[in-house]
Amino acid sequence: MRIISGKYKSRRIEVSPDLKARPTTDFAKEGLFDILNNLLDWETTTALDLFSGTGSIALEMVSRGCPRVISVEMSRNHYDFIVKTKKTLGANELFPVRADVFKFLATCNEKFDLIFADPPYDLPTADTIPTLIIENNLLKPEGIFIMEHSDKHHFSHLPFFKEERKYGRVHFSIFENK
């Protein structure tokens, strides 16, 4: 796993082969952050990373200057890896939470400038995530929500949908609270 930009730029973090995550490819991650660089002021952005996996996206956000990033991951092994990486880097802006994403969304009372979700592509309830975020009012005004998904999912019919971007087999649906 490689951090692309910011204070941890070019840092490589060895991911144990026993972690069963599907990390966002560097190609897709670079495309995603190129989009976000034009939409956000990283130094004032509070962020939520759902289905955090190895923490790659959350760490990229911290590296770019986010003062607060909550990383939600249910797997004990992945959560422990994120905590270990946080300590190794000294990334005090990162707040790992070990929880089921759906239970977290139901009880979260904080609003975010940026929410990123990368659920397992075969998760049967993945289609409900954008609606849960919108209905639970988790985005600040002008806030951005990005859902990573396969080509089997389509979200253009939902409120706040702005656009979909494709990077290889990775699709990002982008929502904006306007």
Residue 89 belongs to domain spanning: 43-150+158-176
Cα separations in angstroms, 63 against 24, 46, 114:
17, 13, 15
One-letter amino acid of 79 = Y
* CATH code, domain carrying 137: 3.40.50.150
- List pLDDT tens digits, range 104-124: 999 999 999 999 999 998 899
Q: Distance between alpha carbon 87 and the CA centroid of its chain, in Å?
A: 20
- List pLDDT tens digits, range 64-114: 999 999 999 999 999 999 999 999 999 999 999 999 999 999 999 999 999
- Total structural domains within the chain: 1
Domain-located, residue 90: yes
Domain-located, residue 37: no
Domain-located, residue 35: no
pTM to 2 decimal places: 0.95
Domain-located, residue 137: yes
| Four-residue CA torsion sign, 120, 164, 69, 81 | positive
Domain-located, residue 36: no
Domain-located, residue 70: yes
Domain-located, residue 141: yes
Domain-located, residue 19: no
